[in-house]
Structure 1
Amino acid sequence: MPTRKASQATGDIGVAITQMIVEQQLLWIFREQPKDFGIDAQVEVLEGEHPTGKLLALQIKTGPSYLQERTANGFVFRESLDLLDYWTKHSLAVIVVLCDPQTNTAWWAQITPREIEKLDKSFKLTVPYTNILNPSAKNRLSSIADGPEDLQRLRTLGMARPFMETIQKGGSVRLHVVVKTNTVFRRAQVVVTTSEGSPTTLEREIGPWLLLWPGADEGLANLEKLFPWAILKRDEEEEEQQREWLIEELHDQQHGQYFEGELMDHDLDYSDFAEQFEGMSYWEVKESTVDGEGYGATFDLALSPLGVSYLMLALHLGGT
């Protein structure tokens, strides 16, 4: 008479728990792999209701035996070096999932050479207690499915290649940066305009501790992280013109005398008002008077050494 081992039943429970979390909480596609060659399932990332083709491979382990060995930071997962070799050579990123069938909770960790510790005949990996498989893990798992960080960076350079080629051909590329400060999460809107083609708008969310003053050194450093292929040059002439317009606007707001909504005169002469801003840059004036709506900057772009090198690499690889 055929028999079914208890370990098989426990394994099936873990697969079912993981499938439930993936489909009901992450709202992604779960595909079980019937034949176990070290991969129990594949997960496909969805953006809304649309499949992306981005996949993760899962190895699912279930039960108390996988949750017994612990450190201060997480569960200790051990496996053979043969499986490690298989997983590290796999075409997909491999995620180990540890399931607790008593609480229907699962924890995860990626198999990478950087995270594992090799022993004589096995290896061990710490699965952090904080890596709970739930909606809070979506962004990190989606990023892992994008591929290794170095390939993601290369892909990002590829997306910027049309801008680089425009500069290389003698065309112009400019950044118009507007930071919106009147929202819960401060956002930097970056509009890229070129001498050919339509403007491209990027939105970036920035934490309050990284408040981006585009004219300040720290703001420039943040922008350079977004555009590592470029050298950013502030348009100082336009900036000075904006400074004068800003001071005139502040003069009208603070000392203007109005009749039926029309500016008639000022209770303080403009030259006397402007003296308080003597020696201050546009950004210093703006920072001292920012009204919560936002502020901006304009930059001309030139190719950085990285941009030049990328175009040479793209040519070598035969890209057209």
Structure 2
Amino acid sequence: MPIRTRAQKTGDKGQNYVSELVDGHPNWMCRAQDLDYGVDLEAEYAPAEGEMQRPAGKLLKLQVKATEVADIRDQVVHVSLERSFLHYAQQFRLPVILVHVDTATKSAWWLWLQAWSLENEDRLALSLDSASITVHIPLHQSLEAGLDHQLVDVVSGIHVSAMVLALRELVDVAASDSRHIRLFRGVLALLDEMEAPNRLRSAEKIIELLVSLGSNPGLWQTSSLIPQIIATVERLGDMFTKEQILRLVLREDSYSRAGLEGLATLYDRWPARAKEMQLPSAFHDAGAEQVSWYCSAREHYTHLGGYELVMGFEAGKLPVAHFGNLQLLHDDDLAYRLFSKYPTRGNSVLLDNLRWVGGTDPERSDTT
């Protein structure tokens, strides 16, 4: 025989209360979602015109969480959410609003989940193993007040977080296609000007794309990402961490040619930041002796950019070419190899011409 639990009854009470509150507002309409999964309600902004309302096609998704007594401490409402639902909410283009209801006092508070996730990315990254996470809603953030003011800004897209989320979506679209490099650069600049929280999300997107290609993809696959890699490092390189640079460049027992272009750009645009990271020793410890050699060469010839370094070795004007256990192979054909291969191989042309001069030469696979 079917039964109705106390928790289900409380949930139904909360959902009914929110539906009536939203639909009873002069500038909002509310409708239930027919499916039994996902979000509970949908609210549409519909400004009043006399005794009528005109739907504006601007929507919010409402997820109702009700309890008989809200957990209120230190002027905030504490609400536990399943992490899986928070991730689900982040996939929506429409704003997803958590509405927490105290059925005893008939009080309701709201929280915009995508904006909360945006502002708490560091916290979320540190709690990946947690199945649930507690969010805090300011006590003054009542649903009634939100329907009058803040939620109108959210649904209209004029809230700062709405702009940042829209720009991030454009970055995601443009990140994987070099045909959109002008758009990509423009969006990065806008995000930077807005001082968006965790602006390095764009860099992480590029790194994720490069790593997802596998350990040994063809150069034709990775080369399409080079313009985005360069643009990202030019704009955000001062914020990169050592770990991000290692992830960008390293591929198992080898390195990425496309990632190396990002490293070269870091030395070109942010030489002080690159030197601060102690990258020669970092790549040496990671077993990437060739990349370690490159970093040492860049830090030795600090007055030269990446292209100038290659051309300096090509012209035989740079006397020091031995760093660590590797040395640039000087022979009669070096100038021709550097000059002819640079257009297709970029800065990695130097690494292709290194020879082992100390210790044991480790076996390495082809670079990507």
Query: For the superposition of Structure 1 and Structure 2, which TM-score range results when normalised by the shorter chain?
Result: 0.3 to 0.5
**Greater fraction strand:** 1
Using structure 1 for the length normalisation, give the TM-score.
0.44
Specify which structure has the higher proportion of helix.
Answer: 2
**Could you tell me the TM-score, scaled by structure 2's length?**
0.38
